[in-house]
Amino acid sequence: MTERYIKLAFFGDSYADSGPTNSKFYEESYFHRLSKMFKNLESPITASDTATHAEYEYCPTGRAGTNAYWGYTQFKKMAQQENTILENALITLTDTNRLPITNNFFAAAGWINMLASDLQGVYSLEYQKAMIDTTEHVEYWNNAMTNLGVGGFYNLGGYSISDVFAIWNLFFENNFESFDTVRFINRQTLRCSAELAINENINLVVIIPFESSVAEYLTEYPGITDTHLVITGLDEVSHRETKTWPGDPLYNTTEKVEWRDNHVDVRCNHLCNINNKILADLVWEGFNGGKTGLVNLAHQPGLDYTEIEKYAIITRKS
């Protein structure tokens, strides 16, 4: 007998994370907006073995700082869970340079080695901290690690975060410049996610937040845009909101961003309210309208870049 009916689930990094709900500046994430859209369409489950199940579940399982492969493993686990039906899934495939660590205690630190191409010889968390030369930055780093859920796990089962990074470094053969092995593992998640969705009859929408990663993923599996909606450009929109987008001088005017009431970004899924709604509507077209192809959020009409003051104190460049 089927025991779980999951109408919508999100998997991936911070762009699939429903956000800091403990903040007084909390807004609805695009996950919550989509959940409401689906609930408006819900009808009683009529399958013969479902008489005692009147409601669907909605599962926001995204986690800030994680890697693409970790998101895929969570997707696979839920999709193939015994006595479970998952109808709609969204997965965010983040930068391919993140470490494909799947241990839950360490997974949220996968983003750290995105710095490695700029910091040759980065072997451990402690080494990276030593490269930061101000107390303010060290405090920010520690707060970030704590908020990501890995700050208290410096020694787990005899292994520390330093050990994890040292082992991965050995696996890379000290090749921080190319990250060949890491990138290979991560970029397979696009094909694997699409094939899993087809095999399990799951309606899938894919988000690749960083446009710079799109070509690498699509080279691995170009056919995805013929059958699914793939959305990119989220990182650009997010940085244009904070005026920290290096690709455009008009949107690169911020010296410092201080999030109100929190140490980390208080925007759910890293977007302000209006742009979050535009993204939700776009994803809805993929789920409920059959929209396919590659779509850049940064090119959508109606985007707004004036709301950031609600969420952060912005210090302009002099």
Domains along the chain with CATH numbers: 4-97+179-316 (3.40.50.1110), 107-171 (no CATH)
Tell me the CA distances in angstroms from 20 to 30, 81, 141, 265, 266, one per residue in order: 13, 28, 18, 8, 6
**Displacement of CA 288 from its chain's centroid (Å):** 22
Of 8, 10, 14, whose CA–CA distance to 234 is shortest? 14
Would you say residue 132 has pLDDT above 70? no
Q: Which two tokens stand for residue 94?
A: 């983040």
Sign of CA dihedral 17, 86, 290, 73: positive
Would you say residue 126 has pLDDT above 80? no
Instruction: Give the separation between CA 21 and CA 301, rounded to whole angstroms.
Output: 28
Greatest mean pLDDT among 91-95, 105-109, 158-162, 256-260 lies in 91-95
Among 20-24, 74-78, 245-249, 257-261, where is mean pLDDT lowest? 20-24
Q: Which pLDDT score, from 0 to 100, does residue 23 have?
A: 67
DSSP annotation of 107 reads G
Would you say residue 163 has pLDDT above 50? yes
> For residue 14, which amino acid is it?
S
Residue bearing the bigger pLDDT, 194 or 125: 194
Question: For 270-283, what is the mean pLDDT?
Answer: 95
Would you say residue 165 has pLDDT above 50? yes
Question: For 151-179, what is the mean pLDDT?
Answer: 59
